Chains A and B, each alone.
Chain A
Amino acid sequence: MNHQLPNSQGGATSAHKLIWNLIDNHRLPYGIAALALFLSTAFQFFVPLIGSATIDFVLVEGTSEANPLLERVIWMIGGSEMVKEHLWLPAIAMLGFAIVGSLFSFIQKRKASIASDGICKGLKDKLYNHIQRMANRYLDQSQTGDLLQRCTSDIETIRLFLAAHVVEIGRALILLVTVLPIMLLMNVWLTLVSTIMIPIIVGFGYIYFKRVKRIFKDVDESEGRLTAVVQENITGIRVVRAFGKHDFEIDKFSKPNQEYRDTSLRLTRLMSLFWAPSDMLNLTQICLALVAGTYMAVKGMTTIGTLFGFLALLNMVLWPVRMMGRILTDLGKTIVAINRINEILIEPVETETDVVKIRPKLPTSGSIVMRGVTFSHSDSDPTVENISFEVEPGETLAILGPSGAGKSTLMHLMLRFYDCEKGEILLDGFNIQELDRQYVREQFGVVLQEPFLYSRSIKENIRFGNQAAEEKAIHEVARLASIHETITQFSEGYDTEIGERGITLSGGQRQRVAISRALLAETPILLLDDALSAVDNETESAIIDALKNRHGKHTTIVIAHRLSTLAHADKIIVMEKGRIIQTGTHDILTKEEGLYKRLWDIQTRLEESFEKEAMTAS
Chain B
Amino acid sequence: MSQPYIEEEFRNKLDLDLWKRISKFALGHKRLLIPLTSSALLLSVVEALFPFATKVAIEIVEQGRPVIEVWKPGAIYFSLAVTLSILVLVFIRCAGGISHHISHDIKRDCFQRLQELEFAFYDAQPTGWLISRLTADCDRLSRILAWGFLDLVWGVFYVLAMSAVMLAINWKLALVVLSTIPPLIVISRFFQKRMLLASRQIRKHNARITASYNEGIAGVKTTKTLGREKQALSEFEGMSTDMYGASVRRAMLGAVYLPLVMTIGSIGSGLALWYGGHSVLSGYISLGTLVMFISFAGSFFFPINQIAMVLAEMQGAQAAGERVMGLLATYPKIKDSEEVKNRIATYAESSSMDPNIACDGYPHIINQIEFKNLSFSYNDKEAVLKNFNLTVTRGQTIALVGPSGGGKSTIVSLVSRFYEPTEGQLLFNDVDYRKRSLDWLQGQLGIVLQTPHLFNGSICENIRYGRLDATDEEIIEAAKIVNAHEFVMKLDDGYETKIGEGGALLSTGEKQLVSFARALIANPQIFIMDEATSSIDTETEKLIQEGMSKVFEGRISFVIAHRLSTIRSADQILVIQKGEIEEQGTHEELLANRGHYYELYVNQFRRERVRQELEAS
Contacts and interface: CB of A to CB of B under 8 A. Distances in A.
A561 B614 contact: yes
Contacts of A355: none
Interface stretch (A14-22, A170-178, A382-390, A446-454): A446-454
B244 A121 contact: yes
A117 B231 CA distance: 23
B442 A276 contact: no
Contacts of A94: 266, 269-270, 273
Contacts of B237: 125
Interface in A111-136: 112-114, 117-118, 120-121, 124-125, 128-129, 131-133, 136
B144 to A, nearest CB: 16
B617 interface: yes
Contacts of A415: 224-225
Interface stretch (B8-16, B98-106, B421-429, B547-555): B98-106
Nearest to B266: A98
Contacts of B60: 294, 298
Size range of the chain B interface in the assembly = 35 or more
A228 B501 contact: yes
Interface in B571-617: 587-589, 591-592, 594, 598, 601-603, 605-606, 609-611, 613-615, 617
Interface string A85-114: 001101110110111011101101110111
B511 to A, nearest CB: 12
B209 A124 contact: yes
Contact of B4 (A237, A248, A275, A501): A501
Contacts of B345: none
B362 interface: no
Interface string A253-282: 110011011001101110111011101100
Size range of the chain A interface in the assembly = 35 or more
B532 to A, nearest CB: 12
Given A94-B273, A132-B220, A257-B108, A114 B248 contact: yes
B255 A290 contact: no
Contacts of A268: 92-93, 96-97, 100
The A contact surface, by secondary structure, is helix
Given A148-B213, A261-B101, A610-B602, A118 B244 contact: yes
Contact of A283 (B67, B84, B218, B240): B84
A389 to B, nearest CB: 20
Given A106-B255, A228-B456, A272 B96 contact: yes
Interface in B73-106: 73-74, 77-78, 80-82, 84-86, 88-89, 92-93, 96-97, 100-101, 103-104
Given A239-B449, A454-B215, A602-B609, A287 B251 contact: no
A241 B418 contact: yes
Contacts, number: 403
A606 B605 contact: yes
A258 B111 contact: no
A465 B223 CA distance: 11
Most central of B54, B122, B588 by chain A CB within 10 Å:
B54
Contacts of B167: none
A304 B62 contact: yes
A98 B295 CA distance: 15
B4 A290 contact: no
Contacts of B416: 242
Contact of A98 (B212, B263, B453): B263
Interface of B: 1, 4, 53-54, 57-58, 60-62, 64-65, 67, 70-71, 73-74, 77-78, 80-82, 84-86, 88-89, 92-93, 96-97, 100-101, 103-104, 107-108, 111-112, 114-116, 118-119, 122, 127, 130-131, 134-135, 206, 209-229, 231-233, 236-237, 240-241, 243-244, 247-248, 251-252, 254-256, 258-260, 262-263, 265-267, 269-271, 273-274, 277-278, 280-281, 287, 290-291, 294-295, 416, 418, 439, 442-443, 445, 447, 449, 453, 455-456, 465-466, 468, 501-502, 518, 522, 587-589, 591-592, 594, 598, 601-603, 605-606, 609-611, 613-615, 617
Interface of A: 44, 47, 51, 54-55, 58-60, 84, 87-88, 90-92, 94-95, 97-99, 101-103, 105-106, 108-110, 112-114, 117-118, 120-121, 124-125, 128-129, 131-133, 136, 139, 144, 147-148, 151-152, 163, 223, 226-228, 230-246, 248-250, 253-254, 257-258, 260-261, 264-265, 267-269, 271-273, 275-277, 279-280, 283-284, 286-287, 290-291, 293-295, 297-299, 304, 307-308, 311-312, 401-403, 415, 417, 438, 441-442, 444, 446, 448, 451-452, 454-455, 464-465, 467, 500-501, 517, 521, 537, 561-563, 576, 595, 598-599, 602-603, 606, 610, 613-614, 617-618
Given A118-B244, A598-B613, 18 more contacts: A59-B281, A90-B274, A91-B270, A128-B236, A132-B224, A147-B217, A152-B206, A231-B127, A238-B418, A249-B115, A261-B101, A276-B89, A279-B88, A283-B78, A290-B57, A293-B57, A304-B291, A308-B291
